[in-house]
Amino acid sequence: MTHSRTKIMIIAGEPSGDFIAAQLMKSLKKKDPTIIFEGIGGQHMQAQGLQSIYPLQELSIMGFFEDFEKYYGVYKKLKELKERLIKNKPDLLITVDFPGFNFRLGKMIKGQGVRHIHYVAPTVWAWKAWRAKMVAKFLDHLFCIFPFEPPYFEKENLPTTYIGHPIMEMGFDKGDAGKFLKNYKIDPKSTILTLLPGSRQRELDTLIPIYKKAVCILSSKISKLHIVIPTLDCYRKYLEGQDWTSPVSIITDLQDRKDAYAASKVALAASGTIALELAAASLPMVITYKISKITEWIARPFLKVKYACMVNILMNKRIVPELLQEKCNPEDLSKSILTILNDPKENKKQKEALKKVRTMLTPENKTPSDLAAEAVLKINEGR
């Protein structure tokens, strides 16, 4: 009798999820090279053999009020995916982060005989504590990436596995600064500032004008300032078309990104998973964000955490500067960047905190993706 190949539908809705899902796929393939993957993902998942249903960019939306015009198109995709899952019946559905989309899909397929694992627990500890009860109704298993998360969901009888944070295994601490300077013909005496304005067009439209003005201020105070912007291929032209006051290198390759972090002195970044990427690379940072007034007004009463940056949340202390909303302005941004560059005490304090965060989020002896892959296969065998 021939053993039927395991079929997994795996869905990531944004670039950070694409990285995480690709690592999991890689670990699963090591344990079972016959697994078939189809779903939604970017270049990293496709490099691991994903049969892509839609381009990842088609799902990259944020804040319902900011992107109302895209809502109908996304709903249509949800319906198509539901029909596909019911018709093809994969062994497992694995959704990665992107809860607005993935949880809607989860509710739609509940009771249709498809087991659903979600990777990256919703931040019930930050806001919307009721979501633990809500997701327990349709998920079969949840992978948690922070050590304090499982109890929130176990209380609702949802099986969970704490695996550590996948970003810690992705080699962001192994960049080659010399190679980066050489490849991009950058003067070794330059001060390199990495800009990470987000992975959605709406974020870029909001933050790039502010970042440009901050760079203008910094270029008058730093003699050889060089800007590096890691981004997606689809945003390259948009970023190249901007009027920067300092030399700029725009990069889309993952290894270049790691090398750029190694060569950089500081990063200016949109709030999100990127903070842990920078922590993994030991790169001091300033975290920023700006959303519409209406979205802020709706979200504010639900927030249960003091900080926006995950480094600060894990350390329970404001170590990384957070410049949000009104504070996200060129003057405050440039001032915070200069403090990190010119104050050795401040620089050291951040680097020590980043080291502690890495230890906290790295499981002993195994990688997070290997732990996740073991759990996936165990769940599949338990059919």
Q: Does residue 202 have a pLDDT over 50?
A: yes
pLDDT at 266: 98
Domain covering 7-164+363-381, topology: Rossmann fold (3.40.50)
pLDDT level of residue 126 (50, 70, 90 thresholds):
low
pLDDT tens digits, one per residue of 226-252: 999 999 999 999 999 999 999 999 999
Instruction: Give CB contacts under 8 A, 24+ apart, made by 204-213.
Output: 204/235, 204/238, 204/239, 206/290, 206/291, 207/270, 207/288, 207/290, 207/328, 208/239, 208/242, 210/288, 210/290, 210/328, 210/329, 210/330, 210/333, 211/268, 211/333, 212/242, 212/243, 212/244, 212/245, 213/330
Q: Does residue 374 have a pLDDT over 50?
A: yes
Percent of the chain with pLDDT over 90: 73
Give the mean pLDDT of the chain. 90
Contact, 15 vs 98, CB < 8 A?
no
Q: What does pTM read for this prediction?
A: 0.79
Where helices occur in 89-196 by DSSP H, the ranges are: 99-109, 131-136, 150-154, 177-183
- The answer to whether the 7-164+363-381 and 177-360 domains have the same CATH topology is yes
pLDDT at 212: 96
Q: Does residue 353 have a pLDDT over 90?
A: yes
pLDDT at 73: 77
Q: Which stretch, 200-204, 228-232, 325-329, has highest mean pLDDT?
A: 228-232
Residue with tokens 């999820």, as numbered in its chain: 17
Q: Does residue 222 have a pLDDT over 70?
A: yes
Q: Mean pLDDT across the stretch 163-184?
A: 94
pLDDT level of residue 307 (50, 70, 90 thresholds):
confident
Our measurement of the distance from residue 118's CA atom to the centroid of its chain's CA atoms, rounded to an integer in Å, reads: 15
pLDDT at 294: 59
pLDDT at 1: 39
How many C-beta atoms lie closer than 10 Å to residue 69's C-beta? 8
Which has more confidence, 6 or 299?
6
Where does 177-360 sit in CATH, by number? 3.40.50.2000
For the record, the structure tokens of 144 come out as 């948690």
Is beta strand 191-196 parallel, antiparallel or unpaired with respect to 266-270? parallel
Contact, 228 vs 174, CB < 8 A?
no
Collapsing DSSP states into helix, strand and coil, what is residue 295?
Answer: helix
pLDDT at 64: 43
Q: Mean pLDDT across the stretch 78-85?
A: 96
Q: Which stretch, 35-39, 162-166, 196-200, has highest mean pLDDT?
A: 35-39
Q: Does residue 66 have a pLDDT over 70?
A: no
Weakest-pLDDT range from 37-46, 203-212, 214-223, 295-304:
295-304
pLDDT at 292: 57
Contact, 94 vs 10, CB < 8 A?
yes
- Domain spans in the chain, listed from the N-terminal domain onward: 7-164+363-381, 177-360
Q: Does residue 298 have a pLDDT over 80?
A: no
Task: Give the torsion sign (CA, 215, 17, 292, 276).
Answer: negative
pLDDT level of residue 200 (50, 70, 90 thresholds):
confident
Q: Mean pLDDT across the stretch 307-321?
A: 92
Q: Mean pLDDT across the stretch 118-130?
A: 81
Separation between Cα atoms, residue 105 and residue 39, nearest integer Å: 13
pLDDT level of residue 127 (50, 70, 90 thresholds):
low
